[in-house]
Amino acid sequence: MERPLIGVVPLWDEEKDSLWMLPGYLEGILRAGGLPLMLPLTTDTGALRQAAGLCAGFLFTGGQDLFPGLYGAEVLPVCGPVCEERDAMERTLFSIAVWEQNKSAFGICRGIQLFNVLLGGTLYQDLPTQLTESALSHQQKPPYDRPVHQVTISGELRELLGFDTLAVNSSHHQGIAKLAPDLVPMARAADGLVEAVRMKDKPFVWAVQWHPEFALAEESSGKLFNALVEACRNTGR
């Protein structure tokens, strides 16, 4: 069976002026039966439209903070580095691939935050200073494959994974503040932070806050990548 082609948003290293990629993103797709294709960092609408036509779906990866202006907020001192070119690229790609072409999409870490912002939600720019009532630490130290807190699972994600709670890794200092109207929560941490979502009225536009690409040995990680690839097989080109 031919592998569905899945576009992967590149990671950007400003210091080295280079694009790069974590192997777990690509390996997760390959193990699930897909063929990952790392995209260029571009805001060229024609190029992104062509990529959307070629690929059956997309993986929106982790990375820099989102520019707060995207959700109508001022940049606070606690906000980390941003990459506005990548913000613009992903905004255009999401519009073309998800809204226009109804392609499948899966977001990881920054990806869940991106989906939320593009659909009208807001973010905490820094959880330790803005979600002060939380006793959880969402920024673990290496190794990143070990779980550090649990999330409560619901809805379609519970159906996929087969259980009510999941121990997850965690490496983020931003998170969902106001949930976008078009998103349905599928997992929450003990402090109430939304950690998994799906988009209403779309076949497969899912995202998680944790990092399955660092924990490919976990059954839950395999199921998430399998769900993306299977959705891409169903939607096709």
Q: Give catalytic residues, as residue numbers.
A: 109, 211, 213
Q: If we measure between CA atoms, which residue out of 215, 219, 211, 182 comes closest to residue 198?
A: 182
8 Å CB contact between 146 and 178:
no
Q: What angle do CA 83, 85, 90 make, to 5 degrees?
A: 100
Token representation of residue 181: 């109207």
Torsion angle of C-alpha atoms 222, 225, 231, 237, degrees rounded to 10: -140
Q: If we measure between CA atoms, which residue out of 56, 123, 122, 113 comes closest to residue 90?
A: 113
Burial degree of 121 (CB within 10 A; 0-12, 13-18, 19+): buried
